[in-house]
Amino acid sequence: DVKVTQSSRYLVKRTGEKVFLECVQDMDHENMFWYRQDPGLGLRLIYFSYDVKMKEKGDIPEGYSVSREKKERFSLILESASTNQTSMYLCASSFDAGTSYEQYFGPGTRLTVT
């Protein structure tokens, strides 16, 4: 079974802190994604990566950065956390294939910034 793990299920941080969220997948997927999910808004893409050291901005990259030094690991960094970044953060991965585009998700990290 595909497994995507995230470093924390719940996280509480203070305004201005630097926050690291880590995601690891064990299926040798090329593509990895970071989303945030807020009530009524659906999943919004923050960043994605289609290869090691490659990254592309999604719809809402402001206030975030990412790192992908190894194929299996994709990190999301909040440089200076703010209260409007309180949200559920979901990591996903997928194959770089012509017939299969489904994304596999981790359990999510619920981040609260106070």
Partner 1 sequence: SQKIEQNSEALNIQEGKTATLTCNYTNYSPAYLQWYRQDPGRGPVFLLLIRENEKEKRKERLKVTFDTTLKQSLFHITASQPADSATYLCALEGSNYQLIWGAGTKLIIKP
Q: Please list every residue from 43 through 62 that binds partner 1, using CB under 8 A.
A: 43-45, 48, 50, 56, 58
Return phi, psi of residue 39, to 5°.
-55, 130
Opening angle at CA 3, ends 84 and 64, nearest 5: 25
| CA–CA gap between residue 2 and residue 55 (Å, rounded) | 22
Q: How big is the site for partner 1, counted in residues (CB under 8 A)? A: 26
Whose Cβ is closer to partner 1: residue 51's or residue 79's?
51
For residue 50, give the nearest of 76, 67, 32, 65 by alpha carbon.
32
Site string for partner 1, 3-42 (x = CB under 8 A): -x--------------------------x-x------xxx
- Give the residues lining the site for partner 1 (CB under 8 A): 4, 31, 33, 40-45, 48, 50, 56, 58, 90, 92, 94, 96, 101-108, 110
